[in-house]
């Protein structure tokens, strides 16, 4: 095996807003802003804790961010908390995820997840989505969040590959930046037509995972 395709989990393979999607009617008119706040606080906590030299696992931060969103949007009923957390453990995979993973593996490339998610969260998400990968790597092993290089090094250590033999796939532009800084080839899955930021440009910018086979063909 001379190449690995490594995927970010949340937002790339799994739809982070699917949790609120299942409870949209109950959440009310602020549902989307509430979900955006939940996601942005979840990420912010990973960055600020890592900068401060601290670590709490991603499930703890996911719950803490959800508590913040409830405090910020009083219109959303706090009784939804256990249901939203339960749904977060079994998020929908994007429709293109299973096919992309299958096709890459069939061609002989290794496939993996590298995620900030805790091992418990990732095992639950992979099982619920019925996807198959060669490795599911969590930053929990090093207790430092992406985009720190120690997190991306979990991939090269696991597969014993040089960074240039890894194609890192993420819908999070900041994650693509971290992966490129580490030396990975990068594919930014820009599902939401977001503007370019950070630089230098990723090796590929795709609207979904279907273009990955052509990229590496
Ligand atoms: C992850 C988050 C950051 O899966 O999307 O690592």
Which pLDDT score, from 0 to 100, does residue 215 have? Answer: 76
Q: How confident is the model at residue 2 (pLDDT cuts 50, 70, 90)?
A: confident
What is the per-residue pLDDT across 183-213, written as a single tens digit (0 to 9) for each?
A: 999 999 999 999 999 989 999 999 999 999 8
Both 129 and 164 in one domain: the answer is yes
CA of 28 to the centre of ligand 1 (A): 27
The binding-site residues of ligand 1, defined as CB within 6 angstroms of any ligand atom, are 8-11, 115-117, 146, 172
What is the pLDDT of the chain when averaged over all its residues?
95
Q: Of 42, 64, 88, at which residue does a domain stop?
A: 88
Check which CATH number belongs to the domain holding 101 and give it.
3.40.50.1000
Distance 82 CA to ligand 1 centre (A): 21
Pocket test for ligand 1, best of 6, 12, 93, 188 (most atoms within 8 A of CB): 12
Q: What confidence score (pLDDT) does residue 216 get? A: 56
> Do 118 and 192 belong together in one domain?
yes
Domain match, 101 and 185 both: yes
Higher pLDDT pick, 199 / 215: 199
Return d(Cα 70, Cα 64) in angstroms, integer: 10
**What average pLDDT does this structure show over 51-76?**
98
Enclosing domain of residue 177: 4-15+91-215
Q: Which of 88, 123, 147 is the last residue of a domain?
A: 88
**Residue located nearest, by CA, to atom 2 of ligand 1:** 10
* Same domain for 80 and 95: no
Average pLDDT over residues 21-28: 90
Range list of H helices, the chain:
18-21, 24-27, 31-51, 58-72, 81-88, 97-106, 119-129, 149-159, 173-182, 212-216
Inter-residue contact 112 to 168 (CB < 8 Å): no
As for how many domains the chain has, the answer is 2
CATH of the domain at 69: 1.10.150.240
Pocket test for ligand 1, best of 6, 7, 9 (most atoms within 8 A of CB): 9
Same domain assignment for residues 97 and 202 = yes
Residue 217 reports pLDDT greater than 60: no
Q: Which residues form the catalytic set?
A: 8
């Amino acid at each position: 095996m001379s190449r690995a395709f490594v995927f970010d989990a949340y937002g790339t393979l799994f739809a982070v807003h699917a949790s609120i999607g299942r409870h949209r009617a109950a959440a009310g008119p602020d549902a989307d802003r509430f979900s955006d706040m939940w996601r942005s606080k979840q990420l912010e906590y990973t960055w600020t804790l890592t900068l401060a030299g601290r670590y709490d696992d991603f499930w703890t931060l996911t719950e803490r961010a959800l508590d913040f969103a409830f405090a910020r949007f009083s219109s959303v009923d706090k009784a939804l908390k256990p249901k939203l957390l339960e749904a977060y453990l079994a998020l929908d995979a994007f429709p293109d995820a299973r096919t992309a993973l299958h096709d890459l593996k069939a061609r002989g490339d290794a496939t993996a997840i590298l995620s900030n998610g805790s091992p418990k969260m990732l095992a639950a998400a992979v099982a619920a989505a019925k996807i198959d990968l060669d490795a599911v790597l969590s930053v929990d092993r090093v207790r430092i969040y992406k985009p720190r290089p120690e997190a991306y090094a979990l991939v090269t250590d696991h597969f014993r590959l040089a960074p240039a033999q890894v194609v890192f796939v993420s819908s999070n532009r900041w994650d693509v930046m971290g992966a490129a800084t580490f030396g990975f080839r990068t594919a930014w899955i820009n599902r939401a037509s977001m503007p370019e930021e950070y630089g230098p440009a990723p090796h590929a910018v795709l609207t979904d995972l279907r273009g990955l086979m052509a990229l590496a063909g």
